Chains A and B, each alone.
Chain A
Amino acid sequence: DAGITQSPRHKVTETGTPVTLRCHQTENHRYMYWYRQDPGHGLRLIHYSYGVKDTDKGEVSDGYSVSRSKTEDFLLTLESATSSQTSVYFCAISDGLDIPQYFGPGTRLTVT
């Protein structure tokens, strides 16, 4: 399995508070991704990175920001969490085009 960890694995937070989720890889892969999984929607891309300090938006990026200061770490920040951001968040990595992405174990976030 690809070396991907996510922290925390579970988090409960209140509406309006900032939250940062961390994805860490040991594979030295170029691309890193943040997805959210919700019932009836499958996996939807939030943001992705194609290199250190190089990021771009996905299809559901509103309310989220990301940063990648090192190859191995990709941070997802909810500046002011809302109940609609309650979800399971997955990080993924890949090393090129037309090859699989490999996923981390996920973070379950509940915003009350």
Chain B
Amino acid sequence: DQQVKQNSPSLSVQEGRISILNCDYTNSMFDYFLWYKKYPAEGPTFLISISSIKDKNEDGRFTVFLNKSAKHLSLHIVPSQPGDSAVYFCAANFGNEKLTFGTGTRLTIIP
């Protein structure tokens, strides 16, 4: 049973526009959420995180939104740049040492 779901396997966005990546979760005990970015032939790199006590966290062009009632997480990238083309994974945990990952969304930025 997939507890963290990324229902869009791929997304294409024009350079300069906003990219919105979505993630849904089923376990209401999750209280810490993260986004990772992965380029081909490299390991995932941490991008941004949010605790369940917040509903928004920003870091430069990246903003993560958390809607606990809908069990929904989103990552906004504004403006999108060609270097943002990668696979993005959302992940979650509930106060222990393990993360549960989604299946990933491949983002392509069109110049």
List residues of chain A with CB under 8 Å of any chain B CB. Answer: 4, 31, 40-45, 48, 50, 58, 90, 92, 94, 97-98, 100-106
Majority secondary structure, A binding face = strand
Measured CB to CB, the closest approach of chain A to B3, in angstroms, equals 10
A40, A42, A105, A106: the one within 8 Å of B101 (CB): A42
Complex alpha-carbon distance, A106 and B49, angstroms: 23
B81 to chain A, nearest CB (A): 21
Chain B interface SS verdict (over half): loop
20 pairs from A and B in contact (CB 8 Å cutoff):
A4-B43, A42-B101, A42-B102, A43-B44, A43-B91, A43-B101, A44-B101, A48-B97, A58-B98, A90-B43, A92-B43, A97-B95, A97-B96, A98-B51, A101-B99, A102-B46, A103-B36, A103-B44, A105-B42, A106-B43
B31 at the interface (CB under 8 A from A): yes
Write the residues of chain B forming the contact surface with A, with a CB cutoff of 8 angstroms.
6, 31-32, 34, 36, 41-46, 49, 51, 89, 91, 93, 95-99, 101-104
Chain A, Cβ-Cβ closest to B4: A42
Residues from chain A with a CB closer than 8 A to the CB of B98 are: 45, 48, 58
